[in-house]
Amino acid sequence: MHVTKNINRRMSCVRRVVVTGLGLVTPLGVGTPHNWLRLTSGKVATSALTDPRFSQMPCRVAARVPRGKEEGELDLSSHFNASELRAMTPAITFALVAAQEAIEDAKWKPDDRDQQERTGVAVGMGMVDLDDIIATNEKLQCKYSKVSPYFVPRILTNMAAGQISMKYSFQGPNHSVSTACATGAHAVGDAFRFIKSGDADVMVCGGTEASISPLSIAGFCRLRALATNFNDCPESASRPFDAQREGFVMGEGAGILVLEEYEHAKERGANIYGEILGYGSTGDAHHYTAPREDGRGAVRAMARAIQEAHVHPEDIRYINAHATSTPLGDAIEVEAIKSLFKDHAQNLHVSSTKGAIGHLLGAAGAVEAILTVVACHAGYIPPTLNLNNPGPGLDLDFVPMEAKGWLQVADRRIALTNSFGFGGTNASLCISSCD
């Protein structure tokens, strides 16, 4: 009977996808409630890079996950033993800790084999651990046998997804995407599609990143992508939409969601935070780092998400913007929003949570999807921190400095969250509170 029910559900014409679990590890700390409280109270997590290895870098600011045993800090020893840690990079540990929170939040640890086979994982990573590669190469120069047998599994971008799958015996789709700074959003969107198409009933999905190293900082500095004028006041370095913005601040962390087919969630009495309504994915076909000047790729991604959601642009009231604090990117995203929403753009709240936590690269889209889900669920919009004076032409409501309540104008609160990446890849998710 149980199998017959599942088959009937998979054959249903319309499969709604809801969010039943949330997990965060960010520079603001560990845990979704902890992150939300600190974000909406205006806390900034960017800080100075004091390691001497960064002393020659033009940018000496980053946003690191706080380590320790205090509330909100990450204590790896409480999650993993020494043997387990040898097989993991920091990005994998972030993903596993965030996944534990999300899975426990969703109360979904099935023992039934059919349920395990109907539960998948889609977790992506933007970059591998460059420090691990450099350190392993140094060991190789000394002696071949010093190279760890875990080296290759550690640097594979799909291994966070693999580790989660193995830990919880999830045997559905095991998927990983790596699309630079759009990785997390693409992973959530792909998981949404797996459920919508009937390939799974539950998906654990998101993104993770731990790429703060001298080599990565140097590389992004050479691209002139990072903020370099705030080394003496690092808490002010990430400033989306602000006239003084000059580049992003690299962050680290993970965001993991549990997505679930609506009837499946309702049948087991799961707590539902919100619903994924639509997903848009496009390519600029323009430049390896710069977005199109006309923002067409971003416009099409947002439009496709709205179209799949079967809502009107006027139904959208909040956009969690990609806005990384770069002069070009922030301005083009604003123009894309104006182009798509036209007069309604003036009614939108548009904020970038990167002012608080920097840019988490491959994890950013998933972390921001979670914050957008919570915003829809709570009816409260997170602020754009460090926004003192918007740049020329940036004249939307960017929710500067302080969070604000969401004016309820319909049965559901509906939002977009955007993520764009090097290589001209764009993703947009349409998210709502659940009716």
Question: Can 221 be counted among the known catalytic residues?
Answer: no
* Nearest CA-CA partner of 64 in 197, 269, 216, 213: 213
Q: Give CA separation, 363 vs 63, 84, 140, in Å.
A: 13, 22, 31
* Contact call for residues 224 and 247 (beta carbons, < 8 A): yes
Residue found under tokens 């033993």: 81
Give CA torsion, residues 388, 392, 397, 398, to 10 deg. -50
According to DSSP, the residues that pair with 29 across neighbouring strands are 26
Pairwise CA distance, residues 382 & 367, whole Å: 13
Q: Could you tell me where the beta strands, DSSP code E, fall in 267-397?
A: 274-283, 316-320, 349-351, 380-381
DSSP state of 170: -
Question: Can 186 be counted among the known catalytic residues?
Answer: no
**Catalytic, out of 359, 377, 430, 434:** 359
* Contact call for residues 85 and 93 (beta carbons, < 8 A): yes
Give the ranges where 197-309 is alpha helix by DSSP (H): 214-222, 262-267, 296-309
Pairwise CA distance, residues 337 & 239, whole Å: 19
* Contact call for residues 26 and 253 (beta carbons, < 8 A): yes
Residue found under tokens 């430049």: 287
Measure CA of the first residue to CA of the last residue in the chain; give whole Å. Answer: 29
* Contact call for residues 200 and 118 (beta carbons, < 8 A): yes
**Catalytic, out of 181, 205, 221, 434:** 181
**Catalytic, out of 322, 349, 376, 430:** 322
Question: Can 359 be counted among the known catalytic residues?
Answer: yes
Q: Looking at the annotation, which residues are catalytic?
A: 181, 322, 359
